[in-house]
Amino acid sequence: MKVLLIAPNIDGTDVGEAFVAFKWAEALAARVDLTVLSFERPGRARLAAQLPAARVVTWPEPAWARGHERLNAMLKPAWPVFARHVRRWMAEAVAQGAAFDVAHQLMPQAARYPSPLRHFAVPYIIGPLGGALDTPAAFRSEAGSAPLFTRLRSLDAARFRHDPWLRASYTRAALVLGVAPYVADVLRDIPLQRFEPVLELGIDGVEPPLTRPQTPGALRLLHVGRGVRTKGLRDAVRAMAGLRDLNVTLTSAGAGEEIAIARAEAQALGLTDRVTFLDRQPRGVIEDLYRSHDVFLFPSFREPAGGVLYEAMRHGLPVITAARGGPDFIVDDACGIRVPVTNPQDFARDLALAVRRLAADSDMVDAMGQAARAKVLAQGMWSAKAARMVDLYQSVARGPKGSPAYPIGYADAPVAPGKNPLPTSV
């Protein structure tokens, strides 16, 4: 099966979306005839060397786009440049009669970038898309002011209704993927041909089963995450105030402005002997924390995906999280407890009740931990995720399985079988 995969950044030596895109490309290249189009950063390992099983076409990422790493990650200012490269490459491929069964715009994850694939007749997939979750109204007074480029998210809904290029990108897509079912609701103003939830994250393996000694009424809770209000650390601390009669402790690993606020909250509530703040820790320490704790308490209430949940679950930790966004999709009743997001007071109370439920039943803790590990083993391994993606590719390809690939063509041109020569540059 011939697949064209595009993403602005694909790099196994990077972090964030670039690393996730690399893991997808690596896993897919083992299953399909894969062609990859991407930017490449000077000084980084060549993408062609990182993906020897794929055909790789890259262009230098503009230097001006790399000046502010956080801004680049959030806004993708070089996307129009990348989209123009892709469109020119595909136009040359059209001229040469190149053929693919399906094209896939894997990244950016944010649902705000018109796709160059919309100009061509090859069936295409976009996603998994994420983000666009708002802060619940009852929590906004505690959320503080967000950076300007983050507040621009408020324009997303208007663009989904009125931006002709964005709407055409999604309406013409044979399939739109979302990191969780909530994305379909976010895109409700766009008539999609088809939507499927696919978590963009994966794992390379699970930890060996670990027997954790447990005492009724005693639990070691762990929170790992960036120190921002939406990750729910403050709510986890407040929940601890309702557990004074139990031998329950909470460990936080993460850095950011919220850590100092949560620390002050713990002090004001008289919980300094029960809550430990470790700030940012190296990966090896984080892995040890997963091994040494009993339950992962992660009440993030504006979490589009939740890769940290996979980290905890691969260690066999049951999860207490928010019944919203990505966590509500990742965690089921067998492997954790999802708490409704209402208001700060009730949220903290309900989190405490969930902890109390597990503290009273060590067998439930053990069963949920086993189910968490089994779930990510069955669904979260990159090999399993690639297998499902190939099934989706086959479901949207124009011809029956095994038929010849179709030329890229233009969106308003007839499509017929053809050869598959490929341009090497623009």
The three-state secondary structure class of 139 is helix
Average confidence score pLDDT of the chain: 90
Q: Which of 51-55, 352-356, 410-414 has the lowest mean pLDDT?
A: 410-414
Q: What is the pLDDT of residue 411?
A: 73
CATH class of the domain at 218-380: alpha beta
Per-residue model confidence as pLDDT tens digits over 267-317: 999 999 999 999 899 999 999 999 999 999 999 999 988 889 999 999 999
Q: Residue 173 phi/psi, 5° resolution?
A: -70, 135
- How many alpha carbons lie under 13 Å from residue 403 in its C-beta half-sphere? 15
pLDDT tens, residue by residue, 181-191? 999 999 999 99
List 298's β-bridge partners, or say none.
Answer: 321
Q: In the structure encoding, which two tokens stand for residue 359, read together?
A: 């503290």
* Confidence band of 325 (pLDDT split at 50, 70, 90): very high
- Distance (Å, whole) CA 403 – CA 70: 44
**What does the pLDDT read at residue 179?**
95
Instruction: Tell me whether domains 2-202+381-407 and 218-380 share a fold.
Output: yes
The confidence band for 417, taking pLDDT boundaries of 50, 70 and 90, is very low
pLDDT tens digits for range 10-23: 999 998 899 999 99
CB 240 within 8 A of CB 270: no
Q: Cα–Cα distance between 235 and 221 in angstroms, integer?
A: 13
What would the pLDDT profile of 164-177 be if each residue is shown by its tens digit? 999 999 999 999 99
Peptide bond into 318 cis (omega under 30): no
For the chain, the structural domain boundaries read 2-202+381-407, 218-380
pLDDT in tens, 359-408: 999 999 999 999 999 999 999 999 999 999 999 999 999 655 555 565 67
Name residues whose C-beta falls within 8 Å of residue 391's C-beta, 6 or more positions apart in sequence: none
- Determine phi and psi for 404, rounding to 5 degrees: -65, 150
Over residues 133-145, the pLDDT tens digits come to 889 999 999 987 6
Among the CATH numbers 1.10.3720.10, 3.40.50.1370, 3.40.50.2000, 3.30.200.20, which is that of 2-202+381-407? 3.40.50.2000
Predicted TM-score (pTM) of this structure: 0.89
pLDDT of residue 154: 65
Give the SS3 label for residue 152: helix
